[in-house]
Structure 1
């Protein structure tokens, strides 16, 4: 399936299928293609939407996780969505958490995978030296259990991004905003069903982060995927989709 980007009213997004809305939020360095296998399977029974988050387009003074949450609300209102299942990876999960606290009436369930919001070890503790593609490759590989997932295409994409000064400034501002906006004290207020689907070998949001989310979110369930890093929907798509389907089927009962 080729994902086609739509452009409407200032939004760039993918929309496939019909049915209840499944809204996917990508991470800080994530691409829409990260969700390819989720879209392919679930667009048969759901309306799957992926808005391109304006990480590089926000004014520098408002670049942060709250601004992205407000953007998501504008998108949901624009598309007239209700009873949304919100699924977020990494920064996208963090944005989802902030969103459901502010607008719980629009969302019926939440799925988090490698979500920030409690603790994250971005880029293995350091930002890549921009001039070194080998260093960038090493840090992109750090995202996955299997370094082969870090293809030349993916490395080139990140390398180009972090050699754009305006983008780097916003990436750093967004990362700092995410670290400052710790969700620990707010998670007990989220009473909707939450599925945590986590790579057991995630080095960026390690397993203890998933355990803490599970302890703090009152209506959550935790599923582990072995031999898997920070982006299970990319690295282990079949297993990820299996757990996602189990959760979505349970919501229908």
Structure 2
């Protein structure tokens, strides 16, 4: 990861410290990652040019025992509110991808005045029987790549999928991924629907919904549903991109974020 610093933030309630990645200067923006682990993608470098970016690990990713104290979404949202307090953050802009998008939406619907602007990138959290969200846990690695990416042959995708070649680093990466999947699946498996649809109406933040037009994991039809349920939201579809448009179309996604957050 190309990072400026990672701070282990102590939390109340007996939770493990959260290794928050921090980079940049300016108004704060928090990035909540998807189900495959804490990350620092190139588009976050783009965002950190003008903003101070905070990228925490998800609750339970460092110590899976933490999940014993997180029974559901309300506990998870309070965990993040405590984390933001410990980081000294007041009102923030919030960006969430995939599972992190679901958490960001839940947080914005609960702490309505604490989120200035909200960006949801291919967010989980809704469910339609006519367009089910695919399973990302119990599929082969080959199938997972097809679910996540529109064009796996792109160099950007190959770089994203590459594992460290040094044995200890590879083992650490595999452990980190296992912890992340365990922590996020605790809240979304087998169906990522926990009543968010009923709460989206409460969001006060101006919201941008970004979606890979070829997302095979969370169908693109959910973009319009999020925008319809959130009072002040609009959609931008990212062409030639799957579930990670910030990887396959980094410049396009970064441009949308820069304009939206600066407005």
Judging changes above 3 Å, is the alpha-carbon distance between structure 1 residues 2 and 173 closer, same or farther for their aligned structure 2 residues? closer
Question: Quick check: 1:29–1:158 contact (8 Å CA) kept in 2?
Answer: no
Structural mapping, 1:1-253, within 5 Å: 2-3=2-3, 4-9=5-10, 10-33=17-40, 36-56=41-61, 57=63, 58-60=66-68, 62=70, 64-119=72-127, 124-125=134-135, 127-128=137-138, 135-148=140-153, 149=157, 151-153=161-163, 160-161=174-175, 170-176=183-189, 179-250=192-263
Distance in 2, Cα, partners of 1:62 & 1:178: 18
Question: Quick check: 1:81–1:106 contact (8 Å CA) kept in 2?
Answer: no
Cα offset, 1:40, TM superposition: 1.4
Judging changes above 3 Å, is the alpha-carbon distance between structure 1 residues 97 and 136 closer, same or farther for their aligned structure 2 residues? same
Cα offset, 1:174, TM superposition: 2.5
Q: Which structure is higher in helix share? A: 1
Question: Quick check: 1:55–1:174 contact (8 Å CA) kept in 2?
Answer: no
Partner of 2:167: none
Question: Quick check: 1:64–1:178 contact (8 Å CA) kept in 2?
Answer: no
Distance in 2, Cα, partners of 1:214 & 1:177: 24
Question: Quick check: 1:94–1:115 contact (8 Å CA) kept in 2?
Answer: yes
Aligned partner of residue 34 in structure 2, secondary structure: coil
What TM-score, normalized to structure 2?
A: 0.80
Question: Quick check: 2:212–2:240 contact (8 Å CA) kept in 1?
Answer: yes
Cα offset, 1:30, TM superposition: 3.6
Aligned partner of residue 125 in structure 1, secondary structure: coil
Question: Unaligned regions of 5+ residues in structure 2, if any?
Answer: 11-16, 165-169
Moved over 6 A (4+): 156-159
Aligned partner of residue 137 in structure 1, secondary structure: helix
Judging changes above 3 Å, is the alpha-carbon distance between structure 1 residues 24 and 159 closer, same or farther for their aligned structure 2 residues? closer
Judging changes above 3 Å, is the alpha-carbon distance between structure 1 residues 99 and 145 closer, same or farther for their aligned structure 2 residues? same
Aligned partner of residue 76 in structure 1, secondary structure: helix
Cα offset, 1:141, TM superposition: 3.4
Question: Quick check: 2:127–2:193 contact (8 Å CA) kept in 1?
Answer: no
Judging changes above 3 Å, is the alpha-carbon distance between structure 1 residues 42 and 177 closer, same or farther for their aligned structure 2 residues? same
Cα RMSD of the aligned pairs, angstroms, is 2.8
Equivalent residues, number: 240
Aligned partner of residue 104 in structure 1, secondary structure: coil
Cα offset, 1:91, TM superposition: 0.8
